[in-house]
Amino acid sequence: MKLMRLGPKGREKPALLDVEGQVRDLSGVIPDLHASMLTPEGLAPLRALQPSSLPIIEQPGRVAPPWAGMGKFVCVGLNYADHAAESGLAVPSEPVLFTKHTSTVIGANDAVVLPQGSVKTDWEVELGVVIGARARYVSVDDALQHVAGYCVVNDVSEREYQIERGGTWDKGKGCDTFGPIGPWLVTADEVADPQQLGMWLEVNGKRYQNGSTRTMVFGVAQLVSYISRFMTLYPGDLISTGTPPGVGMGQKPSPVYLRPRDRMRLGIEGLGEQEQTVHAWNPELIDG
């Protein structure tokens, strides 16, 4: 299934995308798509539906984050060897973990707003892994059984805040609007192999990132298992698994960073596409 939510902030309603590309209204079946519903038991009634029996939404409007109630937004740094190289850093021997605040989360096509004083805001297309069953000290062999599905993530990052402002990555990763996700949550049964997905990102029509999850240092199963040693993962938690090369910071001869009115387009094979316009600081775009 390709599950999604539509509508203005605070008035989102659940929907699904059928095999013919029609958006179908789920609001007569469930009031919303919440993290607590991403368990196998919670998804079972949705799997039993005949999508053709659901009303078509002719004008979907705003594409919201695909589910509500995310508890944790855990990210993996330097998980592609060639991205580590362009960053001037060694390939890690264990996954590098950091968190994005859930206040970063926006819909796939919502505005990305530069924080005050930003000079080095960057882009990162990433595979998102959505947890569907509680995971604590799970084995690599069992890890994928704890995954509800996958989504596209843009791990927007302010590099000056991340690298030059005291040494903690969270400062540059956790700004409001720095976590576009979606457009869909694609359930795990529709992704035959999460390590065989092409991914790309463009800024103003120029392709900067063109990679594949094949080249991850640590694969999805390894990451779910590893992270579950340090924290319990719950349904609706999101793991963003790292980015391939081509970020703005790594451009030669000079880095390229986002400016107001820039447009980002990005996507992952089978998981949909995002498009965001970058805006100067404007709290109304964040709060409205």
For the domain 68-287, what is the CATH code? 3.90.850.10
- What ranges do the domains of the chain cover? 68-287
pLDDT tens digits for the chain (288 residues)? 999 999 999 999 999 999 999 999 999 999 999 999 999 999 999 999 999 999 999 999 999 999 999 999 999 999 998 787 887 878 889 999 999 999 999 999 999 999 999 999 999 999 999 999 999 999 999 999 999 999 999 999 999 999 998 877 889 999 999 999 999 999 999 999 999 999 999 999 999 999 999 999 999 999 999 999 999 999 999 999 999 999 999 999 999 999 999 999 999 999 999 999 999 999 999 997
**What's the distance, CA 87 to chain centroid?**
21
| Helix residue ranges, H only, the chain | 40-47, 81-86, 140-143, 159-164, 170-173, 220-227, 283-287
What is the C-alpha separation between 202 and 27, in angstroms, rounded?
Answer: 34
DSSP-based three-state secondary structure for 171: helix
Give the Cβ contact number of residue 44 at 10 Å: 9
Could you give the count of Cα atoms lying within 13 Å of 28 in the half-sphere of its Cβ?
Answer: 9
Give the 3-state secondary structure of residue 40.
Answer: helix
Supply φ then ψ for residue 48, to 5 degrees: -80, -10
Q: Which two tokens stand for residue 55?
A: 């009303």
